[in-house]
Structure 1
Amino acid sequence: MFLLPHLALLLILTTTLFEAFANLDLATLQLLNGSRATDLDFLLLTLTVTAYGLGALVPLCLYLAGHFRRMASLKLKAYQYVFAMGLNILFIGLLKYTVDRPRPFITHDTIEQIAEASSPSFPSGHTAFAFTAAVVLVLMFRSPVLRGLMLTWALLVAYSRLALGVHYPSDVLGSMLLGSGAALLSTYAFRKHREQFYTLLRRSRNLKIVR
């Protein structure tokens, strides 16, 4: 009996905080969706598509560069990138239909839908893909310019999903963490077992082990 008042208070506080967060989530989306420059909708739509386009292009470029330059390290980076994307796809698939969150334009008529979207809202696949790509490349290469460009691009993709009215800010923030996590896990696995991977790649003809 002594615990009941405390449990009731905890429930009230939790409910209040959840409602406040949900209200902030929606208000932020309404602001970003409603205040966007409509003349730039085509640019936002183009930008959002690059999340998947770059995801396919980068490992292909890394692999081909490794093949023609006979460098096992570049091929290994291609495999590491693909592994990160595979983890990302797995995480997205598990969460999409487990959480099954409706899209904001379905629940709220104040949100204008600009891009096509039919699957559940959480997580944002485009944002997760962009952050997986950006973070894994940031961890692979030391160039400050490349790192800055990749992170800026990933943030712009995340913004586009909000401005286009297809995700809540909480979807996007969660996806940023999810995509970054997939990149970190892939990098950790490949660095920990680097020698084993290089042993496999050495069997390929005329590959130089440049690290």
Structure 2
Amino acid sequence: MEKNLSSSIINGIITLIIACVSCNVAAQNKDIDLLRRINAGRNNDLDGAMRSITNSVYPVAAIVPVAELVTGYRTHNRKLIHGGWQTIAGLGVNFGLTFGLKYAINRARPYVTYTFIVPDHYNKDPSFPSGHTSFAFNTATSLVIVFPKWYVAAPAYTWAVLTGYSRMRLGMHYPTDVLAGAAVGTGAAILAYKGNQWLHNKRSRAKDKH
């Protein structure tokens, strides 16, 4: 069952990425049209808030597992300890997938291809998938796996969605970059969780044999 779910997650991510990369001209036009509406129609007074959301991603992604581990070891809470290491594993998987895809696909940033897109700043790394979005969804999903409560899920995923929106609003990514980032980040967290379960079950079976 776990293997089937993991395979389904991987296949789903691959299917989405292929669909985004190989989309036809009409779909590409919709992609840039939606980005233009979000970017050109933005209220510049909100740029500071959007920038703050974007800039929060990597610090939050680092703080969450550290907080889980520190609290877990101090209180001898094995659930938090496992959750902290699992979150770190998820971040590692997400890092490999996100940046591996970025440089394999090598999609130019929207403001490079379309001069009417006004970016908040200029990045040299490729556009697809959105790294900020993938790490936001990865962190949110890992957090919800450890704390499966609605009052954790609601703010965590609201923050992740706003991160994706901020990347488009600031002119840094296409909608398909953000969609793929959300899928990769979520999938990486679930794969880390399933991998942790498999490892735990394997160790339990080994102990039972002795």
TM-score by length of structure 2 reads: 0.83
1:51 aligns with 2:57: yes
The structural deviation recorded for 1:190 is 1.2
Q: What is the aligned-residue identity percentage? A: 34
Q: Is the Cα contact below 8 Å between 1:45 and 1:115 reproduced in 2?
A: no
Q: Aligned residues, how many? A: 183
Give the structure 2 partner of residue 91 of structure 1.
Answer: 97
Larger Rg over CA atoms: 1
Q: Give, as a single letter, the amino acid of the residue that structure 2 aligns with 1:119.
A: D
Aligned to 1:173: 179
| Structure 1 match to 2:67 | 61
Contact (CA 8 Å) 1:25, 1:170: kept in 2 or not?
yes
| Match of residue 128, structure 2, among 99, 102, 122 | 122
Instruction: Identify the match of residue 143 of structure 2 among 128, 134, 137.
Output: 137
**Unmatched 5+ stretches in structure 2:** 1-22, 205-210
Change (3 A) 1:79 1:109: same
- C-alpha displacement of 1:195: 4.9
CA distance in 2, matches of 1:38, 1:104: 19
List alignment gaps of at least 5 residues for structure 1: 1-16, 199-211
The Cα offsets for residues 76-127 of structure 1, whole Å up to 9 and x where unpaired, read as: 1000000000000000121111111110001101100113422011111000
Q: What corresponds to 2:18 in structure 1?
A: none
| Alignment partners' CA distance in 2, 1:85 and 1:156 | 19
Number of the residue aligned with 2:13: none
CA contact (8 A) 2:99 2:131 kept: no
How far apart are the structure 1 equivalents of 2:122 and 2:48?
13
Once the two structures are superposed, what CA deviation does each residue of 1:120-144 show, in whole Å capped at 9, x if it has no partner? Answer: 1111100000010111212221221
Q: How much does 1:197 deviate?
A: 6.9
Provide the secondary structure at the position in 1 that maps to 2:24: helix
- State whether residues 130 and 154 of structure 1, in contact with CA within 8 Å, keep that contact through their aligned partners in structure 2: yes
Contact conserved, 1:76 with 1:197, CA < 8 A, in 2? no
Deviation by residue 1:146-192 (Cα, 9 ceiling, x = unmatched): 11110100000000000000100011101111101101101111122
In structure 2, what is the equivalent of residue 149 of structure 1? 155
Q: Distance in 2 between matches of 1:189 and 1:66?
A: 20
CA RMSD of aligned residues (A): 1.6
- Residue 110 of structure 2 corresponds to residue 104 of structure 1: yes
Alpha-carbon separation, structure 1, partners of 2:87 and 2:40:
36
> Higher mean Cα deviation, 21-30 or 32-41?
32-41
Q: Matches of 1:185 and 1:161 in 2, distance apart? A: 25
